[in-house]
Structure 1
Amino acid sequence: MNDGPPSRPSRASRPVLIGAFVLGALVLIVAAVLASADGRLFARKDSVVMHFSGSIFGLQVGAPVVFRGVRLGSVTSIGLSYDAGQDRFSIPVVAELDPELIDQVGAGGTPRAGLRLETLVERGLRAQLQMQSLLTGQLYVDLDFRADRQASRLGARSGMIEIPTVTTAIQDIKNQVDGMDLRRMVDDLASIARSVRQTVGSPRIESTLAQVEQTAASLNRLAERLDRRSGPLLDAADRALGDTRRSMGDVSAAAARVGAAASGAEALLQPDAPLMRSLGRSADELARTAAALRETAEAAGPDSALQQKLEQTLDDLSRAARSLRALSDTLEQQPRSLLTGRPQELP
């Protein structure tokens, strides 16, 4: 039996063990990468370029590129380009997108191949910078359909698809502020402030305020007097209203009596009424009497005094007969004239 110390591995076997451990670690790392990539490590990706004209401070390589919250890729490079022809700078941002992440469904729900980015750009796909976090200030690229917005498009690089870009709301505000003449606006505000100060401190304003105060005091006194006199005035108005109502009642009663009298007069003055027949007979008798007297006057001689008196009497009778006949005709045509009087003849 060997009671000595345990045997140690030889120096020749140590590199083999170390290599085995390293190889196992590499296998685990590759497996983890493949698992995290979900089988899309070797999937086809499209390179796109987006030209931004404003500041992109906060956008870094590796920043996500999303479409309505779904990550389609990430930023791979950020550069700076100068166009000597137009004397302007632009910032080309290159990203890799996986178009296979967008499933296209055909008629009946049958799946189709992924959409082409060129088709989406033609339909209005635009890129815009958005804030990831207000604390860190990091940005990301947001893709969405913004065909109604003015887009910037400078041209694609070889082998890349260009996605037009639109400015953010903050950049729009900044552009509007940059276009304003702030110095002139400040000068105008200062001039307005001086004018207001001079106007407020002028004697005319003080006089106007004093007049307004006096007018307000006069109105208050007038309101107090009206308040004190409103009671008696209302009582007098109530009494006058009562008198008016009573007067209207009396007028209504008088009108009713007049109407009744008019109705009675109309009935009395009908053509077949006794009064009208009596007036007609009287007129006829007066006419016959006048005719008989005229015959008597002619028989008495032309120059006698009797004839002259008879002619005068005949004239009176004739006028009386005509007046009586006219009265009879008027009452027959307008019975109310007995109450209202004879209508005046137009000149």
Structure 2
Amino acid sequence: MNRQALVGAFVVGGIGLAVGAFVLFGNFHPFTRMEKAVLIFHGASSGLSVGAPVTFRGVQVGAVDKVVIEYNPETKDAYIPVYVTMRPDNITLTSNSAHHLPTIRDLVSQGLRGEMNLKSFVTGSSEIDLDFAPEVPAVLHPAIATMTEIPTKQSSIQAMSQTLQNLPLKELGDNANASLAAVRELSDRLDRDLPVLIESIRSTSDHSRDMVDASRDLITHLQPQLEQTLKSLNRLADAGSEQLNARGKDLHQLLENSNVMIQRADQSLSNIQSMTSPRSSERANLEASLRDLASAASALRGFANDVERNPQLLLTGRRP
């Protein structure tokens, strides 16, 4: 009887340990509230397997239960539904107790989105990352999803892969080949023309050096003459300054005399202007004298005409 009790206790203890290990290390939590959800991806899901973690900003909040393929023969398109189990009990509220814990559907309406990211570069395993991204439109698939669906968004790695796939690699390769051909042609041309150019530069440098040496010799030769010329100019300037200082009084007197002469010239012009005025008596006398001269000239002209017709008038004179 004692042996049977001992065996029974051992069996019960083993069953208890097995259940505890399964609950502790497995994904089975009988006393934890869980919610099921599905994420539907349209691209490749390499590295994602059952048991992969579902995280929210690095904190694990669930695990992947199943990964299947939904194929549409009409559109020949395939989707990857990923079924996950969430444990909302990991979420606590920071406000008062009047609010209730949000459901997955509430979180989706607030902008919860999921993306597939690489978990380890060594093993190539992937995981599901959740975060709020209300700016990303919620694309749902009611024809495929049989439970609450969490909208997905493109991960940074997928975006990078899509960008690399969309790169015009052939055009880039052609451009690279053309660039290499141009560089090769330029290199060949430099190999052909560069020695001639270097020789020309060397010759030009030699000529320039000769010119510099000749200029230096010329400057050295002309420097004493330039210094002598500068000294002569200084002496000339000093002599000019002395002459100006010595003749300053004479120049002042000459300017005063010039002013007096200008004043007299102005007075003479004023007198001439008064004489030529229409109301001036001198002008009237001058005009009378001019009229008398004109009458005398007219009489002389008549006498000359008479003499020309009759020269004897010079001897006999005019008869009354």
1:51/1:152 contact within 8 Å kept: no
1:63/1:140 contact within 8 Å kept: yes
1:128/1:166 contact within 8 Å kept: yes
Matches of 1:64 and 1:179, distance apart in 2? 31
| Counterparts of residues 135-214 of structure 1 (less than 5 Å) | 135-147=122-134, 153-155=140-142, 157-169=145-157, 171-180=158-167, 182-183=169-170, 185-186=172-173, 189-190=176-177, 193=180, 197=184, 208-214=193-199
1:104/1:111 contact within 8 Å kept: no
Aligned to 2:94: 105
- In the TM superposition, residue 17 of structure 1 has moved relative to its aligned partner by 2.5
Aligned AA (1:126): R
Aligned to 2:80: 91
| Counterparts of residues 1-347 of structure 1 (less than 5 Å) | 13-30=2-19, 41-106=30-95, 112-147=99-134, 153-155=140-142, 157-169=145-157, 171-180=158-167, 182-183=169-170, 185-186=172-173, 189-190=176-177, 193=180, 197=184, 208-229=193-214, 231-232=216-217, 247=233, 269=255
1:105/1:112 contact within 8 Å kept: no
Percent identity (aligned): 23
Matches of 2:97 and 2:254, distance apart in 1? 107
Aligned AA (1:120): L
2:113/2:150 contact within 8 Å kept: no
Aligned AA (1:162): I
In the alignment of these two chains, the number of paired residues is 269
Tell me the secondary structure at the aligned position of residue 15 of structure 2: helix
Q: Give the 3 Å change call, closer, same or farther, for CA 75–260 of structure 1 in structure 2.
A: farther
Matches of 1:253 and 1:66, distance apart in 2? 104
Could you tell me the TM-score, scaled by structure 1's length? 0.57
Q: Give the 3 Å change call, closer, same or farther, for CA 135–275 of structure 1 in structure 2.
A: closer
Matches of 2:152 and 2:118, distance apart in 1? 19
Mind listing any 5+ residue stretches in structure 1 that lack a counterpart? Answer: 1-11, 288-297, 303-347
Matches of 1:135 and 1:100, distance apart in 2? 32
Matches of 2:72 and 2:252, distance apart in 1? 113
Tell me the secondary structure at the aligned position of residue 104 of structure 1: coil
RMSD of equivalent CA atoms: 4.9
Q: Give the 3 Å change call, closer, same or farther, for CA 52–161 of structure 1 in structure 2.
A: closer
Mind listing any 5+ residue stretches in structure 2 that lack a counterpart? Answer: 272-284, 290-320
Matches of 2:97 and 2:232, distance apart in 1? 95
Could you tell me the TM-score, scaled by structure 2's length? 0.61
Q: Give the 3 Å change call, closer, same or farther, for CA 87–275 of structure 1 in structure 2.
A: closer
Q: Give the 3 Å change call, closer, same or farther, for CA 105–195 of structure 1 in structure 2.
A: same
